[in-house]
Amino acid sequence: MRIHLSALGCRLNEAELEQWAGAFSAAGNKITQDAENADVMVLNTCAVTKEAVRKSRQRVQRLHRANPEAKLVVSGCYSSLESPSALAELGIDLVVPNTDKDNLVALTRAEFQQPTMPQSATTPAETALFQRNRHRAFIKIQDGCRYRCTFCIVTVARGAERSRPIQTLVDEVQALSESGVHEVVLTGVHVGGYGSDLNTDLFTLVSQLLTHTDISRIRFASVEPWDLSDEFFTLFDNPRVQPHMHLPLQSGSDTVLRRMARRCKTEDFRQIADMLRKRVPDFNITTDIIVGFPGETEEEWQTSLAFIGEMDFGHIHIFSYSQRDGTKAATLPNQVPKAIRSERSRELHALAADQKERVMESMLNIMSDNTSTNSLNHTSFKEGNTDQNGHRTTLVLWEKGETLADGKIQHWGYTPNYLKVTTVSDQNLANQVLPTRLSGIEDGVLVGHT
């Protein structure tokens, strides 16, 4: 069978796609990026907001139009929360709930073809990832969450916390490294809660990955600030652990945070940010903010905006609050009118753009104190070097390219602290980590020269 895989929403959904891609390939199936050429289309859906639900339905319809003869398999939070009758009306051939995601490949093969393993199933481990034009591997380390933030429906859809064993993850990451992958992103619903059910923790997992794998770059997906111990911060002393974290703040007002049932006050968040930036030069912090949470007054909004303005975030994911049935927040009084939510969103987008520009500018014409040698370049390169014109040099993982009219290739990649860079090259740089000179900013992206 030819399998087309796609996802909406979080990095965890992407990590699950990568697991499925590897399992389908190992079973002798072919991964295709074109839905029109697929025998089976698999969609991993999202339901974090009403907009995500709308997009999930829309994507199902779009896939049907692209290839009405293919079988359609749907999983993810939308399909787990939606009623069976509503899903049936969309013409879905197989629904795999979140609780059965680990069995999706076997269930799909059993439904649509003989589930026996062909003798010719010898596809290399890296094929599934690279065939999907991906060069950073998302690693699902756990699922589910023990907390109940009042706005979150994902904990309902994903269920209790379940962590994958350390040895399983070590073996998976080392296999990826041996197949040519340079960077992994550790992801889950509650990444910082990893190991709560296995008598271990995230610090121990990363320590084991550093000791027992050759992977060059390790990143974290979203991690709740309250999960970070003093011991955890020492991981960043190793240059293989990249100097970036996505720490969800959600609001810069402590009274709003209480209504959200968040466990981190603004002052706690500030101390964590200061500690990371003091420990690691150029450390980049990105975040999530919900605008117009129920009861958010103008005073609370101004307090929130002022605090966010002090944090110098490299990027802010901005969500205008939308009511989700099944959450406590949907029942709270004083829902903020849509017009006010929209205006506050515009204000925050303007602030976020200014902050992102400042963070990128800080990477130009400045020599960092971080002189740690990167494992890919041993003694030939030190992070933060500058050339005779004062231009900063940093390591960039080039991830994908687009052929231009003149035959050259425009590439996009990321610095260690997760700032996007573009360059134009005569050669295909995809999946290479190269010293790159930063010379400016164009259209919100750093310009690099290899």
Where b means 16+ CB within 10 Å and e means fewer, 345-381 reads: beebeebbeebbeebbebbbeeebebebebebeeeeb
Spatial separation of the C-alpha atoms in residues 115 and 351, rounded to whole Å: 53
Give per-residue pLDDT as tens, 372-420. 334 344 334 456 565 555 678 999 999 888 999 999 999 999 999 999 9
Q: Is residue 314 part of a domain?
A: no
Whether this prediction's pTM lies above 0.75 is answered by yes
What confidence score (pLDDT) does residue 157 get? Answer: 87
Would you state the structure tokens that stand for residue 431, as one six-digit string? Answer: 């999946």
Mean predicted lDDT score pLDDT of the chain: 90
Q: What share of the chain in percent tops pLDDT 70?
A: 90
Say how far apart CA 128 and CA 126 lie, in whole Å.
6
pLDDT at position 9 is: 86
pLDDT digits (tens, 9 = 90+) for 233-268: 999 999 999 999 999 999 999 999 999 999 999 999
Which of 54-63, 108-117, 384-393 is most confident? 54-63
Amino acid at 377: N
DSSP annotation of 386 reads B
Q: How far apart are CA 197 and CA 211, in angstroms?
A: 23
The reply to whether 200 and 99 lie within a common domain is no
Q: Indicate which CATH number applies to the domain containing 217.
A: 3.30.750.210
Residues 210 and 147 in one domain: yes
How many domains is the chain built from?
Answer: 3
Name the E strands within 69-196: 71-76, 94-96, 136-140, 142-143, 162-163, 183-187
For the CA atoms of 106, 109, 110, 111, the dihedral, rounded to the nearest 10 degrees, stands at: 120
pLDDT of residue 219: 97
Around 281, how many Cα atoms within 13 Å sit in the side-chain half-sphere? 12
pLDDT at 445 exceeding the cut of 50:
yes
Kindly state whether residues 144 and 108 are assigned to the same domain: no
The CA dihedral of 283, 289, 295, 299, to the nearest 10 degrees, is: 50
Give a yes or no: residue 39 inside a domain. Answer: yes
Distance of alpha carbon 355 from alpha carbon 352, whole angstroms: 5
Q: Is the pLDDT of residue 370 over 60?
A: no
pLDDT at residue number 244? 98
Residues of the domain holding 444: 393-449
State the pLDDT at residue 130.
64
